[in-house]
Amino acid sequence: MTPMKWFLSFLKRYRKNMILGLILTVLITALNIVNPYISGMIVDDVILGGAYPLLLPLVGCMLGVIVIRGVMRFLYQVVFETASQGLLYDMRDKVYRKLLQEDFRFYNKKRTGDLMSRQTGDMDAIRHFVAYVIYVTCENVLMFAFALTMVFTVSVKLALCMLAVLPFTALATYRQSKEVKPAFQRNRNCFSSLNAFVQENVSGNRVVRAFSKEDYEIEKFNKENNAFRAAQISASGVWMKYVPIFEVLAYALNIILMLYGGYMVIHEEITLGALVTVNGYLWMLNNPLRMAGWLVNDIGNFITSVEKIYATYSEEPDVKTPPAGVRKKLKGEISFEDVSYRADDEDIVMDINFHVEPGQTVGIIGSTGSGKSTVMNLLCRFYDTTSGHVKVDGIDVRNMDLYNLRDNIGMAMQDVFLFSDTIEGNIAYGRPDCSFEEVKKAAIMADANHFIQAMPEGYDTIVGERGVGLSGGQKQRISLARALLKDPSILILDDTTSAVDMETESYIQKQLKLIEKDCTIFIIAYRISSIKDADLILVMDKGRIIEQGTHESLLAENGYYASAFRNQYGEIPEELLKGGN
């Protein structure tokens, strides 16, 4: 599908509005012809012909036309405005839904500010096109055609003379449209870039301050700001160059009329009334020529915006839910079979093999960047494996309904994100219809209840972007409560207790023991204490599982895990070292 076809698919839904609007446009434009015609009659028949009693009825007619035109103008604006707002609503909705379907790869590569520009500035260019540009273009084309036809009925020779400006107009329109497109593309890119910069800086405001980088950021902002200004000026430069050309062409019509029309009246080829009539049509010929430059500009802007929005919209996610994917409550048996994942021509994880029974707890430990989070991302199908199979309850996750799979997983992610909402709203995010008691129970399990209740507004305290500041450990515990409340079959805690003290961690571990029989739990951690009781411990390094087993067997192996133990606790007790032999 091309961007324009995509746009037309939205416009089609408002075809009734568009047809009604265009009929009104035709009627209004046709009415424009009446008054100059009556003016000609007043000059020829009333003033020069002496039919004085006709003056009042003729002026009355002119007034009637003005009133009817006014009413119609109001109506067609309502019709086009409703269509444009409706179309924009549908388009925003569709683009937003698509954004929600996009996978991690898409968001890794896109800047938030860019995506925001698609939904704001670009959408507005489309609204302007539907609400204004379409009908103004039609009105002007019709106006020009009607007026020219009327001039033809008055005098073919005069009309032909006036027609001589058209090829010049066509040429100027063509050239402007060619120049305006790249200028607008540059303009939109700079706008997106400026937007993205501001968005990133506002979000990262604390880092900027902590490093006293205000001056550096202002300098960078100035660069973006300058680039946008330059792009705007260069886009304006295009129409600034062409608008005077259209003006000159428009005035050329006046000159032709006065020169050749005057000549014809003097030589009695046409009457004075006819000259007045044609003069009355003159603005209908002039105006479209004057508007041409602006309209070409607006159309160029519109096309660029549709192309930009469509480019974002048409990006298909790699990870898609299969058409008839398995949907069921999962038990939580998990196996990774020769799983590898490559991204950007780089091996991220390789040859991952392990098996977990439902209700088991798995600890994952390993150096930073060793692929621990990636393994969990593959389990949740945030990415698809490059080779091998990730199976849950014996079913390849690629054959499982994506939403069903993720519904069965509760995840406390490594970088905690809280929405601008109350604490209760954040914890209940996965199950918005659950009772307050359930929210509180999850918070108690995550050892979050104490500090939440100590807050002035308790569970109603707003957190997230516009809310109160929370400590790292507090955020982690809210995120843990959010994952627990889902009552999942698989619980993933990615570095979830790294910012809490030992006492809190051991409390949380006890709470997790209460649910472990119904839930397979993955705990990613650096601290041995967080994972030592796990049924299976995976030790990762450079994208591979280098050791796997229980705490005791791994200590006995005296490898990476044992040296991590030594780093954290000192020497390994003799009996443990022997235990594995």
Choosing from 17, 169, 373, 489, the residue that interacts with ligand ATP (CB under 6 A) is 373
Rounded least distance, CB 501 to ligand ATP, Å: 20
Strand 490-494 versus strand 520-524 pairing type: parallel
The listed partner (ligand ATP, Mg ion, none) that binds 488, CB under 5 to 8 Å by sort, is none
CB of 343 to ligand ATP, least distance (A): 3
Q: Does 173 bind ligand ATP (CB under 6 A)?
A: no
Task: Identify the residue among 371, 464, 473, 488 touching ligand ATP (CB under 6 A).
Answer: 371
Phi-psi region of 465 (alpha: psi -120 to 50; beta: other; left: phi over 0): alpha
Give the interface segment with ligand ATP, choosing from 87-95, 372-380, 388-396, 429-437 (CB under 6 A).
Answer: 372-380
Report the residue number, 372 or 406, with the smaller CB distance to ligand ATP.
372
**Binding of ligand ATP by 343 (CB under 6 A):** yes
Taking a C-beta distance cutoff of 8 angstroms, is the pair 159, 148 a contact? yes
Name every residue whose Cβ is closer than 8 Å to that of residue 459 and which is 6 or more positions away in sequence.
Answer: 422, 423, 424, 436, 439, 440, 443, 452, 453
Select the residue interacting with ligand ATP from 42, 348, 411, 478 (CB under 6 A): 348
Q: Interhelix angle for 502-515 vs 436-445, to 10°?
A: 120
Which residue is it, tokens 């739990």? 521
Q: What is the DSSP string of 507-565?
A: HHHHHHHHHGGG-EEEEE-S-HHHHTT-SEEEEEETTEEEEEE-HHHHHHHTSHHHHHH
Find which of Mg ion, ligand ATP, none residue 369 binds, CB within 5 to 8 Å per kind.
ligand ATP
Say whether residue 344 binds ligand ATP (CB under 6 A): yes
Of the ranges 37-45, 317-325, 408-416, 483-491, which one interacts with Mg ion (CB under 5 A)? 408-416
The least CB distance from residue 532 to ligand ATP, in Å, is: 18
Residue 154 neighbours by CB under 8 Å, 6+ apart: 270, 274, 277, 278
CB of 524 to Mg ion, least distance (A): 6
- Asked if 329 contacts 408 with a C-beta cutoff of 8 angstroms, the reply is yes
Figure out which of the listed residues 370, 426, 497, 530 binds ligand ATP, where binding follows CB under 6 A: 370
Could you tell me if 495 and 525 are in contact, meaning their C-beta atoms sit under 8 angstroms apart? yes
Measured distance CA(65)–CA(33) in Å, rounded? 10
Among 100, 167, 368, 581, binds ligand ATP (CB under 6 A): 368
Q: Which amino acid is at 456?
A: P
The item of Mg ion, ligand ATP, none sharing an interface with residue 371, based on CB under 5 to 8 Å by kind, is: ligand ATP
Binding mask 409-428 for Mg ion (x = CB under 5 A): -----x--------------
Torsion from C-alpha of 210, 213, 215, 216, nearest 10 degrees: -160
Dihedral sign for Cα atoms in the order 506, 512, 517, 523: negative
From candidates 127, 186, 188, 372, binder to ligand ATP by CB under 6 A = 372
Query: What is the C-alpha separation between 353 and 544, in angstroms, rounded?
Result: 9
Residue 369 near ligand ATP by CB under 6 A: yes
Tokens of 310: 């469509």
CB of 560 to ligand ATP, least distance (A): 14
Closest CB 306 distance from Mg ion, rounded Å: 39
Segment interacting with ligand ATP, rule: CB under 6 A, options 50-58, 129-137, 365-373, 555-563: 365-373
Q: Does 374 bind ligand ATP (CB under 6 A)?
A: yes
Residues 6+ apart with CB under 8 A from 16: none
- Least distance from ligand ATP to the Cβ atom of residue 508, Å: 19
Angle formed by the axes of helices 55-101 and 134-154, to 10°?
A: 150
Can you tell me the distance from the alpha carbon of 549 to that of 355, in angstroms, rounded to the nearest whole number? 11
3-state secondary structure of 500: coil
**Placement of tokens 């009695």 in the chain:** 268
Contacts with ligand ATP by CB under 6 A: the residue count is 14
Which x/- pattern, by CB under 6 A, does the window 74-113 give for ligand ATP? ----------------------------------x-----
Q: Which is nearer to ligand ATP, 131 or 348 (CB)?
A: 348
Nearest CB to ligand ATP, comparing residues 383 and 522: 383
DSSP 345: T
Facing residues of 361 across strands? 521
Q: Which of residues 342-381 bind Mg ion (CB under 5 A)?
A: 373
- Decide if residue 439 touches ligand ATP (CB under 6 A): no
How far, in Å, CA of 412 to CA of 205, rounded?
A: 25
The reply on whether position 212 binds ligand ATP by CB under 6 A is no
201 belongs to the binding site for Mg ion (CB under 5 A)? no
Closer CB to ligand ATP, residue 348 or residue 523?
348
Q: Is 571 exposed, middle or buried (0-12, 13-18, 19+ CB in 10 A)?
A: exposed
| Region 385-424 residues binding ligand ATP, contact defined as CB under 6 A | 414
Q: Which is nearer to Mg ion, 183 or 483 (CB)?
A: 483
Q: Going residue by residue from 132 to 171, which x/- string records binding to ligand ATP, judged by CB under 6 A?
A: ----------------------------------------
CB of 372 to Mg ion, least distance (A): 5
Q: Which two tokens stand for residue 248?
A: 């000159």
Q: Where are the alpha helices (DSSP H) in 316-401?
A: 372-379
Q: Which residues in 488-517 contact Mg ion (CB under 5 A)?
A: none
Give yes or no for a contact between 48 and 272, defined as CB atoms under 8 angstroms apart.
yes
Token duo for residue 306: 């549709």
Nearer to ligand ATP, 370 or 422 (CB): 370
**What Rg, from alpha-carbon coordinates, does the chain have?**
36
Closest to ligand ATP by CB, 191 or 383: 383
Percentage helix, strand, coil for the chain under 3-state DSSP, each rounded to 5: 70, 10, 20
Give residues in contact with ligand ATP (CB under 6 A): 108, 343-344, 348, 366, 368-374, 383, 414
Give residues in contact with Mg ion (CB under 5 A): 373, 414
